[in-house]
């Protein structure tokens, strides 16, 4: 296959010809005002012949921490557990400046784009350690990169709300600054009563500001920690169906079958999204296990079978929680497929959905994909199928955002 050496970054594409879709179909679509549509290309517009490439919708990362990214080398070594990772990050967080966060976040946004992701939902710490500095920095980075990707921010109380007095006020200020979603971490509170109060505070804030919620939930090996049911119950009681995301949900794998069935059904009724982050949780969870070490991920199979919307997220890039990562959702999908034992053709198709259309459902997009009305965000691979791109871990040859070429990747290889 030829490389798109003649296509310059910044090119506005008017027509996509000979699109090869993942289901084997061929298509031709025009681009007008950044959206896909039918009909001929606008006069004089650039025609991109996609015959030699597999076309996929650009990926969506539903769970990222842009404010923490790229600080790993500046932290003291720790034992790898979640509490130690949080503690190790405290000192660095006290040293944050808006410009520091802005530069690191922008670098990771650009890395996402190079790897084919044009929508990122980022949790941002809001607490009495860093105040609103992390949020201001990430929002500035999102503005700097608005020509490359769309970034939505989540006010995330990493240190708790009741356990970190002053955070409740900061959370409100974050929403007033324009933060897109309300975050939470109820299992970090000391008692079940405090955990429930934490959940109710987050929903109160979401209702007041008319925001969706995206909470860290039960990121622990302890099957007795059960704030997921609190979240699902609150969503149902307040009519917040389809507007709540729960990330991690690791403890569900250690819980008893009766609870698992009950809470998964409630998640289904509440039309919640569960975001699993295997790349990080494989690293963090099960640290105290010996012999048979738990994988540290949620019950992906049972959630899928119940019809709960399920996504995969990058979560971390070279921070106190995870030493690797580059914002590559193809890599995330491959690692997640290993962790969740996804191997059949149907299961591998699900791996694509988990970083694509399922994530679009979480964002509540009116249109997504390679279809009329969708934003013209595409990735083109030198591959014949999604499974080939996944297996070979290819970089996309071309990345489009709103119909404009925002990244190209060229790999030249020679073998005697």
Is 316 contained in some domain? yes
Q: Is 277 helix (H, G, I), strand (E, B) or coil?
A: coil
The answer on 237 and 175 residing in a single domain is yes
The answer on 160 and 182 residing in a single domain is yes
> Can you give the pLDDT at residue 41?
74
pLDDT digits (tens, 9 = 90+) for 202-213: 999 999 999 999
> Can you give the pLDDT at residue 40?
80
The answer on 230 and 256 residing in a single domain is yes
Q: Is the pLDDT of residue 81 over 90?
A: no
- How are beta strands 378-381 and 398-401 bridged, if at all? antiparallel
Average pLDDT of the chain is 95
CA-based angle 151:138:81, to the nearest 5?
100
> Can you give the pLDDT at residue 295?
87
Place of tokens 């009766």: 258
> Can you give the pLDDT at residue 1?
38
> Can you give the pLDDT at residue 410?
87
Band of residue 2 on the pLDDT scale cut at 50, 70, 90:
very low
Mean pLDDT of 313-322: 96
CB 265 within 8 A of CB 237: no
Q: What secondary structure letter does DSSP report for 160?
A: -
The answer on 98 and 26 residing in a single domain is no
Q: What secondary structure letter does DSSP report for 355?
A: T
The answer on 114 and 42 residing in a single domain is no
Write out the two tokens for 327: 């914002």
The answer on 376 and 261 residing in a single domain is no
Is 362 contained in some domain? no
CATH number at residue 177: 3.20.20.140
Give the whole-angstrom CA distance, residue 164 versus residue 355.
33
Mean pLDDT of 370-390: 96
Write out the DSSP string of 140-203: HHHHHTTTT-EEEEEEE-TT-SSSSTTHHHHHHHHHHHT-SEEEE-GGGSSSHHHHHHHHHHHH
Is 67 contained in some domain? yes
Is 64 contained in some domain? yes
pLDDT digits (tens, 9 = 90+) for 233-282: 999 999 999 999 999 999 999 999 999 999 999 999 999 999 999 999 99
CATH number at residue 52: 2.30.40.10
Is 414 contained in some domain? no
- Residue 92, C-beta contacts closer than 8 angstroms, at least 6 positions apart: 71, 74, 75, 320
pLDDT digits (tens, 9 = 90+) for 89-110: 998 999 999 999 999 999 999 9
pLDDT digits (tens, 9 = 90+) for 33-65: 999 998 887 778 899 999 999 999 999 999 999
> Can you give the pLDDT at residue 411?
80
Band of residue 6 on the pLDDT scale cut at 50, 70, 90:
low
> Can you give the pLDDT at residue 3?
42
The answer on 272 and 396 residing in a single domain is no
What residues make up the domain containing 215?
A: 60-341
| Range scoring the smallest mean pLDDT among 85-99, 312-326, 390-404 | 85-99
318 vs 71, 134, 149, 327, CA distance in Å?
A: 6, 17, 21, 10
- Residue 330, C-beta contacts closer than 8 angstroms, at least 6 positions apart: 59, 115, 116, 355, 389, 390, 393, 394
Query: What phi, psi does 379 have (nearest 5°)?
Result: -125, 140
The answer on 92 and 182 residing in a single domain is yes
The answer on 160 and 35 residing in a single domain is no
Report, as residue numbers or ranges, the catalytic residues: 219
> Can you give the pLDDT at residue 414?
87
The answer on 129 and 23 residing in a single domain is no
Mean pLDDT of 14-38: 93
Number of domains in the chain: 2
The answer on 135 and 42 residing in a single domain is no
pLDDT digits (tens, 9 = 90+) for 128-158: 999 999 999 999 999 999 999 999 999 999 9
> Can you give the pLDDT at residue 4?
47
CB 407 within 8 A of CB 9: yes
Is 110 contained in some domain? yes
pLDDT digits (tens, 9 = 90+) for 151-200: 999 999 999 999 999 999 999 999 999 999 999 999 999 999 999 999 99
The answer on 141 and 154 residing in a single domain is yes
């Amino acid at each position: 296959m030829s490389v798109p050496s003649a296509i310059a970054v910044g090119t506005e594409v008017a027509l996509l010809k000979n699109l090869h879709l993942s289901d084997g179909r061929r298509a031709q679509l025009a681009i007008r005002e950044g959206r896909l549509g039918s009909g001929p290309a606008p006069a004089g517009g650039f025609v991109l012949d996609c015959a030699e490439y597999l076309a996929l919708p650009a990926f969506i990362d539903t769970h990222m921490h842009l404010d923490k990214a790229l600080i790993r080398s500046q932290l003291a070594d720790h034992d790898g557990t979640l509490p130690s990772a949080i503690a190790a990050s405290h000192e660095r967080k006290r040293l944050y400046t808006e410009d520091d966060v802005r530069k690191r976040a922008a670098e990771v946004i650009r890395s996402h784009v190079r790897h084919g992701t044009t929508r990122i939902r980022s949790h941002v710490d809001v607490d009495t350690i860093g105040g609103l500095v992390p949020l201001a920095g990430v929002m500035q980075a999102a503005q700097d990169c608005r020509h490359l990707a769309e970034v939505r921010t989540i006010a995330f109380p990493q240190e708790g709300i009741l356990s970190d007095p002053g955070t409740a006020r900061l959370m409100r200020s974050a929403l007033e600054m324009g933060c897109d979603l309300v975050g939470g971490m109820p299992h970090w509170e000391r008692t079940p009563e405090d955990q429930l109060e934490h959940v109710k505070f987050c929903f109160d804030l979401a209702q007041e500001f008319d925001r969706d919620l995206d909470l860290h939930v039960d990121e622990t090996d302890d099957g007795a920690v059960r704030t997921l049911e609190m979240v699902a119950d609150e969503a149902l009681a307040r009519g917040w169906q389809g507007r709540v995301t729960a990330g991690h949900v690791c403890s569900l794998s250690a819980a008893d079958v009766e609870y698992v069935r009950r809470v998964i059904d409630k998640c289904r009724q509440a039309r919640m999204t569960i975001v699993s982050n295997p790349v990080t949780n494989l690293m963090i969870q099960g640290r105290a296990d010996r012999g048979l070490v738990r994988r540290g991920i949620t019950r992906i199979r049972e959630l899928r079978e119940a019809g709960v919307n399920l996504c995969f997220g990058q979560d971390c890039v070279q921070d106190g929680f995870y030493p690797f990562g580059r914002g590559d959702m193809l890599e995330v999908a491959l690692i997640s497929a290993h962790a969740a034992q996804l191997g059949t053709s149907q299961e591998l198709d699900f791996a694509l959905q988990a970083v694509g259309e399922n994530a679009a459902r979480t964002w509540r997009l009116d249109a997504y994909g390679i279809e009329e009305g969708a934003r013209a965000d595409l990735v083109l691979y030198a591959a014949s199928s999604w499974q080939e791109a996944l297996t070979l871990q290819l970089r996309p040859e071309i990345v489009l955002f709103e119909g404009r070429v925002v990244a190209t990747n060229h790999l030249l290889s020679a073998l005697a």
